[in-house]
Amino acid sequence: MHIKVIACDVLNREISMLSSQSRHFVDVRFLPQGLHNEPDKLRRALQDEIDAANKGYKLNYLEKASMRDFHLFEYDLIVLGYGLCSNGIVGLSSEKVPLVIPRAHDCITLLLGSKERYKEYFDSHRGVYWYSAGWIERTLQPGEERYRRIYDRYVEMYGKDNADYLMQMEQGWFKEYNYATYIDWGFPRSDFYRTYTMECAKFLGWNYDEIPGDRTLLEKLVNGEFDEDKVLVVHPGKTVCASFDDSIICAEDAEGYRGNEG
């Protein structure tokens, strides 16, 4: 099969590794981290990528050989490396190619392997802030480095007294958390990520914890293997919607009928 994967850049290492091992042709497009903070912007970006994937793709050497009218290759599946992500995927649709989406609220489910494992850990560890290779590399996680950079910027912009006050307000939401939990996928730099998370936990006064990542869900996605309770396959003509139950997402047809099968 030819599979198009559209994913958040925080999953770059995990998806790149699994795609290289897939039995299928996997073409990956990573979108910038942080789009989930603006759901409408995320939705537009994803829909643009889905629309482009529906048009197929052309091999580079054919372009260079001036064979511009050569038949485009078509994808068999479009896989999203996203969860519900603040409803950023609600309203998405695909014109020709089936759309495959994991049943997840966010990327942590993808790193842990299932929504059940995510819920089990969350229920027993109240106040968890998650750390992973991608999150550490592609954004400033809560910790001393983040604090110092924001504080220095505030001092430069507003002066020290105002910066002290602003940081006191900015740090207030950290009190809601008790754990800095590192998801270990066994990458070559795991010791660095682990130590970084430990240092963040110490600075913030949080407990440090570590949980092994599980490649099962992401691996099946890039191999075109789908369990109905783990993913939703949205067929052409249907639209992604939130289900507001344990299935997390569902598909809606043109008549407004919703179902947990796409």
- CA nearest 106: which of 257, 253, 249? 249
Paired with 130 in beta bridges are 181
**What is the reported pTM?**
0.88
- Angstrom distance (rounded) from CA 93 to CA 97: 10
CA 235: distance to chain centroid?
A: 22
Is the separation of the CB atoms in 94 and 54 below 8 Å? yes
Please state, in angstroms and rounded to a whole number, the distance separating the CA atoms of residues 78 and 91. 16
Work out the number of other CB atoms within 10 angstroms of the CB of residue 112: 25
Q: Which residues of the chain have pLDDT under 70?
A: 59-71, 254-262
pLDDT digits (tens, 9 = 90+) for 126-177: 899 999 999 999 999 999 999 999 999 999 999 999 999 999 888 888 889 9
